[in-house]
Amino acid sequence: FVVLFLPWTQNIRARGSVTTLLQEQRPQELNSIIAGRIVNWYYKEGDFVKKGDTILQLGEVKVDYFDPRLLERTKQQIDAKKIAIEGYRSKAQTAAIQVQALQEQRDAKLKELAIKLQQ
């Protein structure tokens, strides 16, 4: 029995894809209503983000997507919300008055029943 130590090469063929460890170097698919190219990522995979954080910066955003009346529309929405708040406050005050009236009716009825029991 003879053992030879010779260099040995093995080749294989396979299909697949190669990715990198850095997210910026990987192809990213992101569905968006606004067309554009991602210019800068501010976070990497696994980072924690909070509400309102800017995650990425888009480049080549078309001017067609900007609403020239955005400020006016936002102000109208804020005004509508303020009116709704006042409406809810009014409903809450009305409900409080109704509760007070019902409590007074209950107290009067209890006094009436107590008088009937004493007779």
31: confidence class by pLDDT, cuts 50, 70, 90: confident
Q: List Cβ neighbours of 22 (8 Å cut-off, separation of 6 or more).
A: 44
Q: pLDDT tens digits, residue range 62-114? A: 776 677 888 899 999 999 999 999 999 999 999 999 999 999 999 999 999 99
As a whole number of angstroms, the distance between CA 54 and CA 30 comes to: 15
- When pLDDT is cut at 50, 70 and 90, the band that residue 41 belongs to is confident
Q: Average pLDDT, stretch 12-26?
A: 73
Cβ contact 59:34 at 8 Å: no
Mean pLDDT of the chain, nearest integer: 84
| Inter-residue contact 36 to 61 (CB < 8 Å) | yes
- DSSP result, 54-110: --EEEES--GGGS-TTHHHHHHHHHHHHHHHHHHHHHHHHHHHHHHHHHHHHHHHHH
Q: Which residue has the higher pLDDT, 54 or 11?
A: 54
Would you state the structure tokens that stand for residue 68, as one six-digit string?
A: 């020239």
